[in-house]
Structure 1
Amino acid sequence: MAIVLGDNRYGKAENRVVRVDREGDEHRITDLNVSVSLSGDMSDTHLTGANDKVLATDTQKNTVFAFARDGVGEIEDYALRLARHFVTSQESIHGARVRVESYPWQRLTVGGQPAHHSFARSGGGTRTTTVHYDGEQAWVLGGVEDLTVLNTTGSEFWGFPRDGYTTLPETKDRILATAVNASWRFAGDDVDWAGAYDTALASLLDAFGGTHSQSLQQTLYAMGSRVLETVPEIVEVRLSLPNKHHFLTDLSPFGLDNPGAIFHAADRPYGLIEGTVLRDDAPAAGPAWS
């Protein structure tokens, strides 16, 4: 029986990059978490320990910071620049994957006026991108993570199978809450990234708030479909929606009723609903999701 080396990659993960743009008195923050992963002709280092084809992960880290020096711009463009650089500058590197998470900051208001240099982290979800480049073609994913949303009504769950282990009561009115983790695949790499992100995010929120939900699966499909309807450059949407359960609290031991007002927000366990919505003529994903 022969033993061979399979697929492999290496890189520098979670480089925390903060750029401050100082235009006059008004500052802007770009707060990123950048991970690089490279693949290619790496057999020697695995089999013999030779490192002549290994671009040090410390060098990768330095490149991430150096490329932010002259401006980040849209995170998709920044990731594309990095991925192309690693492949074109190193003969042994045949593929580069760059993932960027962009954390949102909101300008504070001081004395009734927008502050020039004071910010607070906002809770509008974390913008993400993942880029893969193989020397000829680039694949780009966009997305958002930890976007917490909640409907206080307009959600039902009933008609499900019941067996000897089923205790969950049916309901025609419940709180529906989730932390949206969404990724979407672009058909190309020449896109108005900011416009696509803003429209996709607004579409997710509009579909969540505007869908009378019989199940979280139905809401997932509505959210993915709305993104595809509004952003023609996107061909596939993947969603992961943890069901953040809110259970009506029994106040009867205290002689109190509970007219749908007091809930226990459960931490775990939680239902996890995942699915993909895509165009029926979507091109092959290639290595985009791998």
Structure 2
Amino acid sequence: MAIVLGPNRYGKAETRVVRVTRDGATHRLKDVNVSVSLSGAMEDVHLTGDNAAVLPTDSQKNTVFAFAKRHGIGAIEDFGLLLARHFVESRPAVGHARVEIHEYGWNRIAGGHSFVRDGGEVRTALVHSGGGAETVVSGLTDLVVLNSTGSEFHGFARDEYTTLEPTDDRVLATAVTARWRHRGTDAAWDASYRAARDALLAAFAGTHSLSLQQTLYQMGRRVLAEQDGICEVRLSMPNKHHFLVDLEPFGMKNDNEVYFAADRPYGLIEGTVLDDGAPAAPSAWN
């Protein structure tokens, strides 16, 4: 039996950076979490313990901070590309750099320097650079949405363990995780993100749903239909179940008004919607 070293990478995970840009009395805030992972000609560190090709993860962390100072942080896709290209171009042993960034939003309260943390979704970006190829995957997590009507679920398969009753009027709620792959690396990232987010919300609100699967597809389809620069959308959507409470013991009728919001267990619906003519890039998502 031959024992060999398989694919490997290493890096600094979750470097949290808050960058304050001061324009006189008015400040702007960027709050991001950056994870870097490098791979390439680094077999010796595993096989013999030779660290000559290894850029310390502490140096990667310091690079993130230094670039935040030197270049500022605009769109997280641009910042990710900047970092990924730097590691590939500056280190001969690095053949591929992966940079993942999560951005946490803040809203201005009053004046020029007071903010409140945005309780909404988290914006994400995943950048790969190396081997003459680059990919950018943008996205979001924890986009919590709910339709209080306009959702049905019936006609499903049944077996001896099925107790769920069909319904033609239910609450449909989910926390969307969506990621979308760009065709290139020169998009207007902020505008593209807003447009993709708006498309997801519009499709969720505008689809009379017969299943969460149907809604998922319509959400991904709308992003692709409205943005030529995006070629693939991947969605993960837990079904946040809302069950009608039995109020009959109290002499009251529950006419789709009072629900118990269950947090677990939950159905988990996942799917991909893509331009069938777009080139495949499986590594872009990992």
Deviations 1:72-116 (A, max 9, x none): 1111010000000001111111000000001111112xxxxx332
Match of 1:288 in 2: 284
Residue 203 (structure 2) pairs with residue 207 (structure 1): yes
Report SS of the residue matched to 1:117: coil
Q: Name whichever of 249-258 and 151-160 sits farther off.
A: 249-258
CA RMSD, 1 decimal: 1.0
Match of 2:138 in 1: 142
Match of 2:269 in 1: 273
Residue 255 (structure 2) pairs with residue 259 (structure 1): yes
Report SS of the residue matched to 2:33: strand
Matches within 5 A, 1:181-200: 181-200=177-196
Match of 1:69 in 2: 69
Superposition deviation, residue 188 in structure 1: 0.6
Report SS of the residue matched to 1:59: helix
Match of 1:58 in 2: 58
Unpaired segments ≥5 residues, structure 1:
109-113
Matches within 5 A, 1:14-33: 14-33=14-33
Report SS of the residue matched to 2:235: strand
Superposition deviation, residue 41 in structure 1: 1.0
Matches within 5 A, 1:1-290: 1-70=1-70, 71-108=72-109, 114-290=110-286
Task: Return the TM-score normalized by structure 1.
Answer: 0.96
Superposition deviation, residue 121 in structure 1: 1.5
Does the CA-based 8 Å contact 1:105-1:121 persist in structure 2?
Answer: yes
Match of 1:111 in 2: none
Does the CA-based 8 Å contact 1:240-1:275 persist in structure 2?
Answer: yes
2:255 and 2:25 mapped to 1: Cα distance? 52
Task: Return the TM-score normalized by structure 2.
Answer: 0.98
- Which runs of structure 1 show a deviation greater than 3 angstroms over 4 or more consecutive aligned residues? none
Superposition deviation, residue 26 in structure 1: 1.5
Query: What amino acid maps onto 1:119 in structure 2?
Result: F
Aligned residues: 285
Unpaired segments ≥5 residues, structure 2:
none
**CA 1:30 to 1:235, structure 2 compared with 1: closer, same or farther past 3 Å?**
same
Superposition deviation, residue 118 in structure 1: 1.5
1:180 and 1:115 mapped to 2: Cα distance? 33
Q: Name whichever of 94-103 and 131-140 sits farther off.
A: 131-140
1:56 and 1:27 mapped to 2: Cα distance? 33
Does the CA-based 8 Å contact 1:243-1:272 persist in structure 2?
Answer: yes
2:21 and 2:244 mapped to 1: Cα distance? 48
